[in-house]
Amino acid sequence: MKIVKSNDKIIEKFDKISDKEAEEALRTILKWIGEDPSREGLLETPRRVTKAFKEYFKGYNQDPSSELKKTFGDVEGYDDMVLQKNISIQSHCEHHMAPIIGVAHVAYIPNKKVVGLSKLARTVEVFSKRLQTQERLTMQIAKTLMTGLDAKGVAVTIDATHQCMTMRGIKKEKATTVTNYFLGKFKDDLGIQNRFLKFISEN
């Protein structure tokens, strides 16, 4: 691990781990759970898991703000809510590395410019492809959209199932968790906030 100083902040830079080192660590885990990593069915498992992890956690190598740089001003003064519902989320909790599966509802009020609709989903995707808590994930999406779009307001709701409590621990299979984060007009104006909540509750 290397320590570097940037803008008066101490930042930890971890040495890059190779695919080979990651695969060896997974072989150790297979032994730890009581398996034989040399048996035929598991020979390729460390490589496959390493490849899967690159997909699960690709958000660490992506910049969410870069998705919001291209905006469109030719919207004839549109200044009402833009809402995208039911954006699928597949993330992993940072406490047990168990899947978090659910949906996000994202809305913003433009300030002269709008962004391509796919960019809202991409912002959700970047942050979800990291180890997360649902609370932080909700806030990160909202704050990034607010800043990146210079929006008048942003609202984010996530409704998800955490397999760390459906498959282990308390094992409540039907439990879901809902988190909300409001900024700008969505926070200051309950009428706008309630419109958002009404829209996302409708099928």
What residues act catalytically?
93-96, 134, 162, 164
Residue with tokens 């390729």: 44
Count of residues for the chain? 203
Helix (H, G, I), strand (E, B) or coil at 64: helix
The SS3 assignment for 159 reads strand
Cα–Cα distance between 159 and 171 in angstroms, integer?
A: 18
55: CB partners within 8 A, 6+ apart: 129
Contact 156, 180 (CB under 8 A): yes
Burial of 79 (0-12, 13-18, 19+ CB in 10 A): exposed
